[in-house]
Amino acid sequence: MKVTIGQINTTNGDFDGNIAKILEAVEKAKTDGSDLIVFPEVVTHGYTSQDWFQDRDIVEHALDSLEKIIPATVGITAVVGTIRPNEDTDGRRLYNSAAVISNGELIAFVDKSLLPEYDVFDDPRYFEPDRNPDGVVEITARDGKRHRLGVVVCEDFWNDKTFWKERLYENDPTELVIRQNAEIVVAINASPYNKGKIKLRCEMVSHRAKQAKIPIVFVNLVGGNDGIIFDGASLIADSQGDIILQAPAFQEFVETVEIDDALPDSRGITGGEIAAIRDALVLGVRDYARKNNFKKAVLGLSGGIDSALVAALTAEAIGAENLLCVMMPSPFSSEGSVKDSEKLIENIGCEGRIEPISDAFQVLLNQLHLNKPTKGGENLAAENMQSRLRGVILMAISNAEGRLLVSTGNKSELAVGYCTLYGDTNGGLAVLGDCLKTEVWAISRYINESAGREIIPNAIIDKRPSAELAPNQFDQDSLPPYELMDPILHLYFENKFSPGEIIERGHDAKLVYEILNKVEHPSNEFKRQQLPPTIIISKNAIGVGRRRPITHKYRRLQK
């Protein structure tokens, strides 16, 4: 039996574009002599359509896309992720479904049973669960043989009691179809990228195939959707658990394999986690710009590592010729910052521009009767005014030239509020908002190593971090060293550890409470809730999945 992975990049609500990609993949599968092509979850509409799934018109016309796909399946079977109306008067108005279409006929819907509502997921808000899951569907292959597919939708595959130490659900729809003598399990997914997840998926699929002794086709969505990045990395495992077809991460992929007579796919997933993060960020910028019709971008280049990395990533994503880097020196900008920025611009090959803010800064100091800072923290209003002046310039360029303004703040700074609202937080997309400062350094070094040359000047990578809003100002004057702070932030955000659990792992108790109370302070939550969409690369990130009130009196008290 020949099976095709249809790993495609969809856009929310782009029905014609999504259908065109589906039909193109179906035709390629036919050319390959495939029996079955499998697409990801909700590819007809876009999985992250959010409250569009509650729109009456969307519900009423939920099946329109399928009507255009069905005729193209003559001679092949396609499993297509879609939505379908709930005809009952009770419950949510839609099901999240896999449509099984074979030889020009819709033969079955398999509805999602387990609906996640953690991190970035909110399925129960939109979908009615299948309360009596039965995903076994019989299809006919090209040679006339009948095959029993066990079809499951995303979360319905992720509850294997032999793989997970802790499970979120009592039921396991995949176990059910295996018990019902499915010959092959087909799992359609929209599983977002976060660190370590690609390896985890491969292990999970291989384990289940080996345990059940049947092949598994695991197809995952690819593409950027606001801040959520789907990495693809779809795979097919044979009945021994060997991976016989591995799709690359972060790109579209349509390819066919004979599951009954295939060797292990030696390509695998290459590169380490830092390489994957870099690829995820590039895809996030590229798709956000492309899907929102931005051909060009702009950013403020300070001479620091964060803006340098964002410049390198954005140039890779949309082309260096489409990127404008603006240097905006103030009275406190060092000569080295401008020279380092100019060297970066030369290395990347993008356009550079200098727009000094010193004169405008002095005018506003006089008008508002503010003193110029003589040391960091002495006059925050004057310090922040510099950042806001830069924000005004960048937004003006964005408006005048139709450029996407990309924000450059990192997660470490945003977590503890070391940023200026309506200044360096301005922008249409926060590229590094889920990258800790130590990760920013690691990605920057990786970019240079993989290029075999100095793209981001080492002078920038090795420079002591500074906002340069006051004389001789350095981040460490206001913050703990990033090497001490970032491991604590990692455990807090990504592992959801309590202060006690973090301290048990060797971190100073006073520092832990100091950092967590900064993170959770209402003023910093106020800033974060006004950030642009943030590209997410971790679990429990700053972004759409984090839900905290601004107004609260919770405090972490050291015992």
Res 558: pLDDT: 84
Catalytic residue among 21, 112, 195, 437: 112
Res 494: pLDDT: 93
Q: What ranges make up the beta strands (E) of 24-93? A: 36-38, 77-85
Catalytic residue among 2, 128, 154, 350: 154
Q: Give the integer Cα–Cα distance in Å for 25 and 217.
A: 16
pLDDT tens sequence across 50-99: 999 999 999 999 999 999 999 999 999 999 999 999 999 899 999 999 99
Q: Is 41 a catalytic residue?
A: yes
Res 429: pLDDT: 97
Cβ pair 220, 238 in contact under 8 A: no
CA 270 to centroid of chain Cα atoms: 19
Give every residue of the chain whose pLDDT is below 70, as ranges. none
CA 555 to centroid of chain Cα atoms: 30
Cβ pair 534, 541 in contact under 8 A: yes
Res 264: pLDDT: 84
Helical (H) or strand (E) element with 291:
helix 273-291
**Matching CATH number, 2-265, of 3.40.605.10, 3.60.110.10, 3.30.530.20, 1.10.3720.10:** 3.60.110.10
Q: Give the integer Cα–Cα distance in Å for 479 and 22.
A: 50
Helical (H) or strand (E) element with 4:
strand 2-7
Q: What is the 3-state secondary structure (H, E, C) of 214-268?
A: CCEEEEECEEEECCEEEEECCEEECCCCCEEEECCECCCEEEEEECCCCCCCCCC
Res 419: pLDDT: 93
Q: Which residue has the tokens 């049947």?
A: 214
State the CATH class of domain 276-476+522-528: alpha beta
Catalytic residue among 2, 21, 30, 41: 41
Helical (H) or strand (E) element with 185:
strand 184-189
Cβ pair 473, 418 in contact under 8 A: no
Helical (H) or strand (E) element with 199:
helix 197-212
Q: Going edge to edge, which strands form the sheet with 36-38?
A: 105-111, 94-102, 77-85, 36-38, 2-7, 253-258
CB atoms within 10 A of CB 58: 19
Q: Is 339 a catalytic residue?
A: no
Q: Is 439 a catalytic residue?
A: no
Q: Which residue has the tokens 């991460």?
A: 249
Q: Where are the domains of the chain?
A: 2-265, 276-476+522-528
The overall pTM is greater than 0.85: yes
Res 374: pLDDT: 85
